[in-house]
Structure 1
Amino acid sequence: MDRRIKKNQTAIKKAFIHLIAEKEFEKITINEIAERADVNRGTVYSHYWDKYDLLDKCIEDQLIHLMESCYSANATGPFPTKIPLLRTIKEIEKNALLYKTLLSIKDVPSFRVHLSRMINNRIMEQMEENKLSLDDLGKSIFAQFMSSAIVGVIEWWFSQSKPCSAEELTERLWSLLEMNRMILVEEKGSPIAEEQNEARRSAQWGIS
């Protein structure tokens, strides 16, 4: 890609994200985006059909970046592991303004939907790869539960001005997800003694 084109696209996207953080998406105009990016209106339209197309491109870029940065191609196990979850949260934290803005868009909740779908698809892929003994409906419900929980907690974390570190958030979130994973495994014929479960839960939450 020509460096000038790339520079313009970067400036336009950056200006757009800052505007979304300042005002409602529906009230943003192409003229405002162009002025903030220090380009003319025609330059914006030469790259994007309209602000909805620009929003879609911003979302697409960030999801691709998240997948490349956080999810290993050779991940194993029937569920996402703690490491990519921590990487995802830390990557989101590193670009806090961008992700907080995208997650908080009320008029067009595209990013939240796409992020949840990305995590959902990853969970489904790993369950298929590891031949988890659940029917299709069970897999779909479990993947939806997991992905919604992860995205919901990340949203809460931002809305509460990050009351804990990314590491602590990951540990606490993972302990909850792991509890549900163990329940699922037990229901499918791999029982674990209740005292072992209780000991694990106590250790995860610091209960003595």
Structure 2
Amino acid sequence: MTEQKLDRRARRTREAIQAAFVELILEKGYAAVTIQEVADKADYNRGTFYKHYVGKEELLKEIREVFLKGIREALLRPYKGMDQVEATKIYPSTLKLFEHIECHKKEFKALITVHRGISEDLYNTLRTSMREDMHMEMEPGDPPLDYELMLSYRLSATVGVIMHWADTDFKYSAEYMADQLLALVNSKIDHIVFKTKP
């Protein structure tokens, strides 16, 4: 058998094991899931599981890493071969970000149930991308914006919107979320109405 076919088979096996593990985490929680249950649900034996993973921790780590890598790739995918893009034309990457999460929402939900720190992982992944893959050029202003503060503000808002979407069990489409996020980023508050007298 060719190496390519072996790689394809190994990839399919890993994907089946990952999918089974995610389903079981969502059904009964991470701590309660056994290796035998994962193997059974994926329709493999324990030996096959151990050929690919040392244990549940390594399996969970790979799911997390693949999910976060996809986030970073989604941001860049629409602009392949481009040097820059106008700030008003970032909808494609925003949409790809939400589509990636929507496509992998089971994995995301499983990661959330295991440790809420996934929001910090998301923030750090986006921040790394904004530092290493791209740079936002700001319009001059008075006072001038502190780039790191601006980045922190925007990324915290983005992660907050993503986590709210997950909390609502992804009731909105990726397109709706992309539209809303960009509207939020570009909106200016007109005034505040007090509901109670200060």
Q: TM-score, normalised by structure 2?
A: 0.72
> Which region of structure 1 is more displaced relative to structure 2, 17-26 or 162-171?
162-171
In structure 1, the residue matched to 2:128 is: 121
> Which region of structure 1 is more displaced relative to structure 2, 41-50 or 170-179?
170-179
The 1:69–1:170 alpha-carbon spacing in structure 2 relative to 1, beyond 3 Å, is: closer
In structure 2, the residue matched to 1:96 is: 105
Number of residue pairs matched? 177
- Inter-partner Cα distance in structure 1 for 2:165 and 2:57: 27
- Amino acid of the structure 1 residue aligned with 2:9: R
Residue 139 of structure 1 and its aligned partner are, at CA, apart by 3.3
Structure 1 unaligned spans of 5+: 180-196, 202-208
**SS at 2:162 equivalent:** helix
- Inter-partner Cα distance in structure 1 for 2:89 and 2:128: 11
In structure 2, the residue matched to 1:84 is: 93
- Say which structure, 1 or 2, has more relative contact order (CA 8 Å, 6+ apart): 2
Structure 2 unaligned spans of 5+: 141-145, 191-198
The 1:175–1:28 alpha-carbon spacing in structure 2 relative to 1, beyond 3 Å, is: same
In structure 2, the residue matched to 1:140 is: 148
Determine which of 169, 178, 186 is the counterpart of 2:186: 178
Would you say the 8 A contact 1:124–1:140 is kept in 2?
Answer: no
- Amino acid of the structure 2 residue aligned with 1:88: L
- Amino acid of the structure 1 residue aligned with 2:126: I
In structure 2, the residue matched to 1:158 is: 166
Would you say the 8 A contact 2:72–2:129 is kept in 1?
Answer: no
Q: TM-score, normalised by structure 1?
A: 0.69
Residue 80 of structure 1 and its aligned partner are, at CA, apart by 9.2
Quick check: 1:6 aligned with 2:1? no
In structure 1, the residue matched to 2:24 is: 19
Would you say the 8 A contact 1:12–1:33 is kept in 2?
Answer: yes
- Calculate the aligned-residue CA RMSD, in Å: 3.1
